[in-house]
């Protein structure tokens, strides 16, 4: 059992549904009647192969993934993809485009530069990452092999309002902090990847959805265990996969289905974030650095206009059981992360705390 009355607003690893944690716990005693736990099961077993197949199918079903896309599980966290995407998909002399909208897209760009020519097709750095640039403002041209975006910037609280259409140029999206929080028009993307530690729980695991025609061009130096095509050919079992993490994702996908799927969760996520944004916008005590149309429904980034109030806010919130509300170390300020599993009670408690804090200190 855990301490009562604590709500976790961390940006990831993030809050998980208690019922999923209980199901995961059961697998530690005896998995599928084998007489030993999942942590002790061979990855070559029929039971684990079936789990991999089921989980892949669940991802397909949850996002209506078309047949010409492959679903693959990867290791190394989302950051590893900043290098593995170019190694697998970018010929050595080709040019990659990047849309820079905040901390994580900047990290992807910085790493990508080590593997080939990179071109920033659009950036909102000049305006403090307060918005995302419209596709019409992107400097795209035919020499760009693919274009990388971060649809939800976890540290800056900026989110694309929909799936951008950049025509024939494959769009590569780091959906780490919005994966499975909304329906996605998969056809708009060449590849989607997401670390699972936000909406799905475990760290280290990445789910990638890749259009088949982009595969099979990995550079010779690409590590075998990170070669997308080889991983697909060998049913995701080149080396020992992140078995327990994949099992947690399977349980979370069951849970997502029980909630009514990504459409239901999307409406719910919008409603939760609006509750907090409404309080921020009510007067001048709090502020949000992002324009209303591009505010994240996952990571509500805000601050107190009087900077001296920020530490007091965090201290009092923590004492009330509202944990992990500090902003990202690079962005500063405050941040409430409202992933799929965040209960309404947590949002209500935060809303009430914010209102009372403002009354007392405003």
Tokens of 76: 């190394």
Instruction: Give the interface segment with ligand PLP, choosing from 20-28, 32-40, 169-177, 222-230 (CB under 6 A).
Output: 169-177
Tokens of 51: 């789990």
Q: For ligand PLP, which is the closer residue by CB, 177 or 273?
A: 177
Instruction: Give the interface segment with ligand PLP, choosing from 19-27, 72-80, 209-217, 240-248 (CB under 6 A).
Output: 72-80
Provide the minimum distance between the beta carbon of 150 and ligand PLP in the complex, in angstroms, as a whole number: 5
Binding of ligand PLP at residue 70 (CB under 6 A)?
no
Q: How far apart, in whole angstroms, are the C-alpha atoms of residue 176 and residue 104? A: 10
Q: For ligand PLP, which is the closer residue by CB, 279 or 301?
A: 301
Q: How far apart, in whole angstroms, are the C-alpha atoms of residue 334 and residue 313? A: 9
- From the list 176, 180, 208, 181, the residue with the least C-alpha distance to 195 is 176
Q: Is 138 a known ligand-binding residue?
A: no
Binding of ligand PLP at residue 77 (CB under 6 A)?
yes
Binding of ligand PLP at residue 313 (CB under 6 A)?
no
Q: What track of x and - describes contact with ligand PLP for positions 148 through 167 (by CB under 6 A)?
A: --x---x-------------
Q: Is 333 left (phi over 0), alpha (psi -120 to 50) or beta?
A: left
Q: Which of 15, 59, 65, 78 binds ligand PLP (CB under 6 A)?
A: 78
Provide the minimum distance between the beta carbon of 201 and ligand PLP in the complex, in angstroms, as a whole number: 12
Q: Is the dihedral of CA 174, 180, 184, 190 positive or negative?
A: positive
Nearest-CB residue to ligand PLP? 77
Q: How far apart, in whole angstroms, are the C-alpha atoms of residue 9 and residue 347? A: 9
Q: Is 98 left (phi over 0), alpha (psi -120 to 50) or beta?
A: beta
Binding of ligand PLP at residue 340 (CB under 6 A)?
no
Provide the minimum distance between the beta carbon of 176 and ligand PLP in the complex, in angstroms, as a whole number: 4
The catalytic position among 31, 104, 138, 255 is 104
Answer yes or no: 31 catalytic: no
Answer yes or no: 3 catalytic: no
Task: Calculate the alpha carbon distances from 29 to 19, 39, 40, 206 in Å.
Answer: 16, 10, 10, 26
Tokens of 353: 């705390």
How many CB atoms neighbour CB 307 within 10 A? 10
Q: Which residues lie near ligand PLP (CB under 6 A)?
A: 12, 77-79, 104, 150, 154, 174, 176-177, 195
């Amino acid at each position: 059992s855990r301490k009562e009355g604590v709500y976790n607003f961390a940006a990831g690893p993030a809050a998980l549904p208690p019922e999923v944690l209980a199901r995961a716990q059961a697998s530690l005693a005896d998995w599928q009647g084998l007489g030993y736990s999942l942590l002790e099961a061979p990855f070559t077993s029929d039971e684990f192969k079936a789990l991999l197949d089921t989980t892949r199918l669940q991802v397909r079903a949850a996002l209506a993934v078309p047949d010409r896309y492959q679903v693959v599980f990867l290791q190394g966290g989302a950051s590893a993809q900043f290098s593995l995407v170019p190694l697998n998909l970018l010929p050595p002399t080709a040019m990659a485009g990047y849309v820079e909208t905040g901390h994580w897209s900047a990290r992807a760009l910085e790493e990508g530069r080590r593997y080939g020519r990179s071109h920033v097709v659009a950036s909102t750095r000049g305006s403090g990452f307060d918005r995302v640039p419209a596709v019409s403002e992107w400097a795209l041209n035919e020499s760009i092999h693919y274009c990388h975006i971060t649809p939800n910037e976890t540290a800056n609280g900026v989110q694309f309002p929909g799936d951008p259409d950049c025509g024939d140029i494959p769009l590569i999206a780091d959906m780490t902090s919005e994966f499975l929080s909304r329906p996605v028009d998969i056809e708009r993307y060449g590849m989607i990847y997401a670390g699972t530690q936000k909406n799905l729980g475990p760290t280290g695991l990445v789910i990638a959805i890749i259009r088949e025609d982009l595969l099979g061009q990995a550079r010779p130096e690409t590590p075998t265990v990170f070669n997308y095509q080889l991983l697909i050919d060998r049913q995701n079992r080149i080396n020992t996969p992140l078995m327990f993490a994949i099992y947690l994702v399977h349980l979370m996908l069951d849970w997502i289905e029980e909630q009514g799927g990504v459409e239901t969760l999307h409406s719910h996520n919008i409603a939760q974030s609006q509750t907090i944004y409404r309080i921020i916008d009510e007067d001048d005590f709090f502020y949000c650095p992002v324009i209303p149309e591009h505010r994240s429904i996952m990571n509500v980034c805000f601050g107190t206009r009087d900077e001296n109030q920020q530490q007091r806010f965090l201290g009092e919130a923590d004492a009330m059981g509202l944990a992990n509300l500090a902003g990202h170390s690079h962005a500063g300020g405050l941040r409430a992360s409202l992933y799929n599993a965040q209960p309404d009670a947590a949002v209500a408690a935060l809303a009430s705390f914010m209102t009372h804090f403002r009354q007392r200190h405003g």
